[in-house]
Amino acid sequence: MKVSEEDVRIPGAGHEIRAKVLTPVGGGTWPGVVLYSDIFQLTESTLRTCRRLAAAGLIVCVPEIYPRGELAGVALEFDDAGKQAGLAGAAAMSTAEFDEDRVSVLDYVTARPDVTTVHAAGYCLGGHLAFRAAFDERVTSTVCFYPTGLHNGALGADHADSLAAAARIRGQLMIIFGSRDPHVPAAARAQILAALYEAGHEDLELHVYAGGEHAFMRDVGPRYDPELTDRGLDEAVSFLRGRSLQ
């Protein structure tokens, strides 16, 4: 399926949020997914993933995660300078600001006449943001790819403590980890799972891919694993397009 792309500006609270919206060609209505990037923002690597999801029958809205300050509109390079800039961008954002922007983006996606149901997904820091997007009752299902900071509350400038609010999630949840992820090692994964079970999410889907490193789905650099990427995307598409509703 072919995909069309458009640049949009979503009104925030005193600022604009730049986003890309990728839509299956041919019209009609589709499930909508707010997809949060890693700390590098709207890179071509992230957009390649978005194109694959849209080609599978999803409307994908991928917003910048740092719409305030000097990183607004900037796609960072996958190098040390880009990493440090991305981490600094996260450290400059409060949990309240991340949440405020999330509401603005969900308002935009929900209002689109071509969107049927609303979902969330994200990678790394974006996986944590997707988890928080699931707090919104409009979000039907959420896929978090190797989310960072869930086990220790780290997100931005303050302590998010997102796991403590997991009972607020009403939709279905899928989390995908790599077994060799140093940011979310086995003990952290066990902590996350225990907290989610305690919050009542006993029917969540958890996948731990043997040999997967952190950011194994980023198709740039030595950690990229094409086989695990295909597996993760297949699982996510099946889940987001309706398996989570059965």
> Distance between CA atoms of 102 and 36, rounded to whole angstroms?
10
Residues 137-177 have pLDDT tens digits of: 999 999 999 999 999 999 999 999 999 999 999 999 999 99
> Distance between CA atoms of 51 and 42, rounded to whole angstroms?
12
**What is the DSSP code string of 157-171?**
SSB--GGGGGGG--S
Tell me which of 3.40.50.1820, 3.20.20.140, 3.30.2130.10, 2.40.170.20 is the CATH number of domain 3-245: 3.40.50.1820
> Distance between CA atoms of 5 and 51, rounded to whole angstroms?
9
Is this model's pTM higher than 0.95 or not?
yes
Cβ 52 vs Cβ 233: under 8 Å: yes
Q: Is 197 helix (H, G, I), strand (E, B) or coil?
A: helix
Mean pLDDT of 26-31: 94
Predicted confidence (pLDDT) at residue 245 exceeds the cutoff of 70: no
**What is the DSSP code string of 88-144?**
HHHHTS-HHHHHHHHHHHHHHHHH-TTEEEEEEEEETHHHHHHHHHTTSTTEEEEEE
Residues 101-124 have pLDDT tens digits of: 999 999 999 999 999 999 999 999
Residues 213-244 have pLDDT tens digits of: 999 999 999 999 999 999 999 999 999 987 64
Cβ 68 vs Cβ 101: under 8 Å: no
Alpha-carbon Rg for the chain, nearest whole angstrom, is 16
> Distance between CA atoms of 64 and 49, rounded to whole angstroms?
15
What are the extents of the domains in the chain? Answer: 3-245
> Distance between CA atoms of 176 and 86, rounded to whole angstroms?
22
Q: Regarding predicted confidence, which is higher, 131 or 246?
A: 131
Above pLDDT 90, what percent of the chain? 96
Mean pLDDT of 78-94: 97
Instruction: Give the DSSP letter of residue 22.
Output: E
Write out the catalytic residue numbers: 124, 181, 214
Quote the mean pLDDT of the chain: 96
Tell me what pLDDT residue 243 has: 62
Tell me what pLDDT residue 242 has: 77
Above pLDDT 70, what percent of the chain? 98
Cβ 87 vs Cβ 154: under 8 Å: no
> Distance between CA atoms of 61 and 72, rounded to whole angstroms?
17
